[in-house]
């Protein structure tokens, strides 16, 4: 399979973090109370003063007072709304009895649905009693209507997610923040910085992958390392997979996993290290068994990038560098990227059976993709952003071209 | 030094004297490599790969010398092995490493189909075989491998501590470590990864936090007296533990197919 002759067109989608996806799964049951619109704030206030402890900030992402028409249809049909009764008690029904139906519809009592608290924090009986002894229910023959509805427990992390939740659960508002991953503003800024060149680098990564495959050295997997911290962007290293390259540099029989340490990401990282040694005036060939890792260029493209002296000698590992990979790196390579302190990682295709970067799992995808599109479930490692567990984090994207493209390698392969 | 009690094989078999001597002799070699690393200003992690009772590869961390953050002891030793042997030899090879393999190495070892891994201390920053993640047994296209931790754990920790009081001049902003003191006291707590537990307790808001830890992975049965004596050992060294509950899980896993796991929940006050 030959790569496309020109760079793929598409947009960069930031990868979702594990915490984001898990947060999206959590719902809690809450009470919704039906009241005429002009009483909505009063009911909320009564509740706040009676149960100050239960009036938490946990529902900041929820519209606590919602119009009937804004509720999802399946919630609407569950609510046994009582507009006729309310009209009666509000004294409206007499006035409009002679007018035509259209007029009547207009003057109908506007009802609101007020979220009070979670069902687990207060017995229904207590809530009913509180409502019955306060306006608008005091002295009325109308019984408070209290419904139990599930709402997302945590704030949405994108506008699309907020929209979807508003359709599925309850009207939700989105604030431009993300407690479960990189801040949207940071992601936006970085996306803008790399989106023009990303397809070109990914194309290059695919090309070198195809070259090593054709040479019999490895699978059609490749990567490109760039320094995007200055202008113009520098190409630092290019490497293709060399798992099927024997210690003497020849193609070898394809048995089991081959030489795992010669995955393209490992090779490219080694080339950066050697360039740094060279830049600081040291011998880059210090490792006597370096040929086992295939850490020297094996294609003309690799050699071109390797031969240029453009790494500052005082650099540390791969700090401030970006890595573009034709396929989602395996867990080993994802961790190598983390160990090397990369700044950003961009992948062309996912590897659901072996990839270490993406965070979707069958569980998180069970209800369909909450972010739209179709992101396949994978191992759920999400290694680029696990700051509470691992000692580094970086930004990660995938290129969405809108068309499903062949992965080009076996899906059980570790890229 | 006695092998910690929880170094058992996946069948729940506690190692006998002869087996201990066997594994300890190779861990001793790994520690030798780690000491060599320390002398050359590398993170003191060392390892040996063993096939049929013979060492076929030795490695020590080389990230500072090579400026390559992936040159861990395992990678260095693997390169030596692959320079002399076919890759398939690893299927019959065991690894002895002073510190639990990191996530990267744990995945590499699984892709190479290593037979088993024996390690000294846990790695709570990026351990891949139980310290942080469980790459050795998670769902994967490659078959899982068994791991055994805690062999000469104290020595492995002490080596790391010695290193961290030295300065790393390669770091972008070398931290002043002159004021750092080498602590030599190591809690003889073997059943719980103490660093991990401390982290959990620190991050928790509630006062009583149950810490569940697997004490024995047993295929057959574990006698109550063994569990009880182990618990006494834990409670004795960690005075913050107020209660300990034992429960048994009949949940088989990759490491323990068809077996049950005996766990304890420790409540710290």
pLDDT digits (tens, 9 = 90+) for A307-341: 999 987 778 999 999 999 999 999 999 999 999 99
> What is this structure's pTM?
0.76
Which one of A328, A389, A412 would you mutate to disrupt binding with B, by most B Cβ within 10 Å of its Cβ?
A389
Residue A180 has pLDDT above 60, yes or no: yes
B67 → chain A, closest CA residue: A273
pLDDT single digits (tens) B4-18 = 445 555 555 667 788
Q: What is the pLDDT of residues A276-316, one digit of tens each?
A: 999 999 999 888 899 999 999 999 999 999 999 998 777 89
Kindly determine whether residue B66 and residue A257, on different chains, have CB atoms separated by under 8 Å.
no
Cα-based distances in Å from B67 to A234, A273, A342, B33, B72: 20, 5, 14, 19, 11
Contacts of A255 in chain B (CB under 8 A): 87-88
Contact B171 A316 (CB under 8 A): yes
Please provide the size of chain B in residues.
269
Give chain B positions within 8 Å (CB) of A412: 141
Helix (H, G, I), strand (E, B) or coil at A239: strand
Interface test with chain A among B45, B61, B69, by most A beta carbons within 10 Å: B69
Q: Return d(Cα A278, Cα A275) in angstroms, integer.
A: 5
B110: closest CA of chain A, how far (Å) = 10
- In A, which residues are within 8 Å of B111 by CB distance? 257, 260, 330, 332, 414
- CA-to-CA dists, residue B150 to A113, A362, B184, angstroms: 59, 35, 17
Verify whether the Cβ–Cβ distance B69 to A341 is below 8 Å. yes
Q: A231 pLDDT exceeds 80? A: no
Q: Containing H/E element for B262? A: strand B260-268
Phi/psi of residue A377, nearest 5 degrees: -75, 140
Q: Is A412 on the interface with B (CB under 8 A)?
A: yes
Sheet of A65-67, strand order = A65-67, A111-118, A27-36, A145-152
Q: What is the pLDDT of residue A128?
A: 87
Nearest to B60 by CA among B82, B30, B90: B30
Contacting residues of B for A261, CB less than 8 Å apart: 75, 78-79, 82, 108
Of residues A391 and A273, more confidently modeled? A273
End-to-end CA distance of chain B: 32
Q: Which of B17, B18, B54, B74 is catalytic?
A: B74
Amino acid A370: pLDDT: 59
Distance separating the N- and C-terminal Cα atoms of chain A: 17
Contacts of B103 in chain A (CB under 8 A): 331-332, 335, 338, 383, 390
> In chain A, what residues touch B170 (CB-CB under 8 Å)?
316
Q: In what order do the strands lie in the sheet with B209-218?
A: B209-218, B260-268, B241-249
Residue A253 makes CB contacts below 8 A (sequence gap 6+) with: A244
Interface ipTM: 0.80
pLDDT per position in chain B (269 positions), as tens?
Answer: 344 445 555 555 667 788 889 999 999 999 999 999 999 999 999 999 999 999 999 999 999 999 999 999 999 999 999 999 999 999 999 999 999 999 999 999 999 999 999 999 999 899 999 999 999 999 999 999 999 988 999 999 999 998 888 765 555 565 555 666 677 666 654 444 434 433 443 333 333 333 434 443 333 334 444 455 555 555 444 444 455 554 444 444 444 444 444 455 555 54
Q: How far apart are CA A47 and CA A133, in angstroms?
A: 12
CB contact under 8 A, A255 and B88: yes
Q: Is A286 on the interface with B (CB under 8 A)?
A: yes
> What is the pLDDT, as a whole number, of residue B259?
43
At A364, is the pLDDT very low, low, confident or very high (cuts 50, 70, 90)?
confident
CB contact set of B224 (below 8 Å; sequence gap of 6+): none
Residue B132: list chain A partners with CB under 8 A: 389-390
With tokens 């990914």, the residue in question is A202
Comparing alpha-carbon positions, the chain A residue that sits nearest to B66 is A273
Q: Is B74 one of the annotated active-site residues of the chain?
A: yes
Q: What is the pLDDT of residue B224?
A: 45
User: Taking the CA of residue A17 as centre, how many other CA atoms within 13 Å lie in the half-sphere pointing to its CB?
Assistant: 21
Q: Determine which of A249, A253, A261 to mutate to test the interface with B (most B C-beta atoms within 10 Å).
A: A261
Tell me how many residue pairs between chain A and chain B have CB atoms under 8 A apart: 113
| B117 closest CA partner among B80, B73, B154 | B73
> A390–B102: do the CB atoms touch at under 8 Å?
no
Write out pLDDT tens, residues B169-188: 555 565 555 666 677 666 65
Nearest to B139 among A258, A341, A379 (CB): A379
Collect all residues from B whose CB is shorter than 8 A from any CB in A. Answer: 62, 65-71, 75-76, 78-80, 82-83, 87-88, 102-105, 107-108, 111-113, 125-126, 128, 132-133, 135, 138-142, 170-172
Give the nearest partner residue to B135 out of A247, A331, A414, using CB atoms.
A331
């Amino acid at each position: 399979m030959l790569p496309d002759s020109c760079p793929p067109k598409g947009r960069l989608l930031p990868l979702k973090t594990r915490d984001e996806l898990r947060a999206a799964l959590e719902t809690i049951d809450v009470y919704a109370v039906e009241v005429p619109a002009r009483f909505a704030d009063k009911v909320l206030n009564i509740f706040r003063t009676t149960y100050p402890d239960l009036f938490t900030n946990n529902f900041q992402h929820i519209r606590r007072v919602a119009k009937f028409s804004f509720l999802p249809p399946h919630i609407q049909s569950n609510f046994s709304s009582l507009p006729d009764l309310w009209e009666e008690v509000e004294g409206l029904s007499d006035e409009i009895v002679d007018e035509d139906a259209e007029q009547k519809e207009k003057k109908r009592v506007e009802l609101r649905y007020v979220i009070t608290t979670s069902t687990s924090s207060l017995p229904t009986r207590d809530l009913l009693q509180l409502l019955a002894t306060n306006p608008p229910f005091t002295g009325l023959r109308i019984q408070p209507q209290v419904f139990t509805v599930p709402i997302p427990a945590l704030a949405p992390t994108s506008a699309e997610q907020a929209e979807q939740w508003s359709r599925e659960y309850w009207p939700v508002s989105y604030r431009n923040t993300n407690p479960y991953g990189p801040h949207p503003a940071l992601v936006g800024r970085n996306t803008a910085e790399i989106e023009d060149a990303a397809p070109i680098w990914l194309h290059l990564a695919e090309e070198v992958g195809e070259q090593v495959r054709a040479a019999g050295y490895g699978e059609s997997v490749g990567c490109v390392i760039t320094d995007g911290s200055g202008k113009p962007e520098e190409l630092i290293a290019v490497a293709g997979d060399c798992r099927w390259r024997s210690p003497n540099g020849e193609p070898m029989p394809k048995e089991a996993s081959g030489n795992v340490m010669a995955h393209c990401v490992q090779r490219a990282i080694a080339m950066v290290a050697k360039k740094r040694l060279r830049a600081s005036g040291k011998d880059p060939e210090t490792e006597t068994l370096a040929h086992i890792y295939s850490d020297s260029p094996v294609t003309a493209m690799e050699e071109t990038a390797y031969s240029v002296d453009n790494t500052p000698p005082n650099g540390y590992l791969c700090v401030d560098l970006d890595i573009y990979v034709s396929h989602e790196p395996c867990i080993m390579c994802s961790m190598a990227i983390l160990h090397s302190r990369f700044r950003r990682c961009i992948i062309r295709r996912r590897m659901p059976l072996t990839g270490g970067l993406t965070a979707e799992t069958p569980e998180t995808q069970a209800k369909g993709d909450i972010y739209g599109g179709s992101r396949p479930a994978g191992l759920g490692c999400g290694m680029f952003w696990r700051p509470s567990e691992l000692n580094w984090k970086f930004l990660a994207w995938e290129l969405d071209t809108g068309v499903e493209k062949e992965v080009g390698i076996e899906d059980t392969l570790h890229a | 030094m006695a092998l910690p009690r929880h170094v058992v094989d996946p069948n729940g078999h506690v190692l006998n004297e002869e087996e201990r001597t066997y594994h300890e002799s190779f861990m001793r070699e790994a520690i030798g490599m780690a000491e060599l690393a320390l002398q050359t200003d590398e993170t003191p992690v060392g390892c040996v790969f063993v096939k049929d009772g013979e060492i076929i590869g030795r490695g020590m961390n080389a990230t500072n010398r090579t400026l390559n953050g992936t040159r861990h002891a395992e990678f260095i030793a693997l390169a030596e092995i692959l320079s002399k042997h076919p890759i398939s030899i690893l299927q019959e090879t065991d690894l002895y490493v002073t510190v639990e393999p990191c996530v990267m190495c744990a995945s590499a070892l699984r892709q190479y189909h290593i037979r088993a891994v024996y390690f000294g201390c846990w790695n709570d920053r990026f351990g891949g075989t139980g310290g942080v993640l469980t790459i050795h047994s998670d769902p994967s296209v490659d078959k899982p491998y068994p791991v055994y931790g805690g062999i000469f754990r104290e020595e492995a920790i002490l080596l790391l501590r010695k290193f961290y009081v030295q300065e790393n001049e390669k770091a972008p902003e070398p931290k002043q470590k002159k004021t750092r003191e080498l602590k030599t006291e190591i809690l003889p707590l073997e059943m719980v990864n103490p660093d991990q537990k401390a982290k959990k307790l620190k991050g928790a808001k509630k006062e009583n936090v149950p810490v569940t830890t697997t004490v024995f992975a047993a295929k057959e049965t574990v006698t109550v007296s063994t569990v009880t004596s182990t618990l006494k050992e834990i409670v004795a060294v960690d005075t913050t533990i107020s209660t300990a509950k034992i429960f048994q899980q009949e949940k088989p896993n990759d490491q323990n197919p068809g077996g049950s796991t005996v766990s304890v929940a420790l409540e710290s006050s």
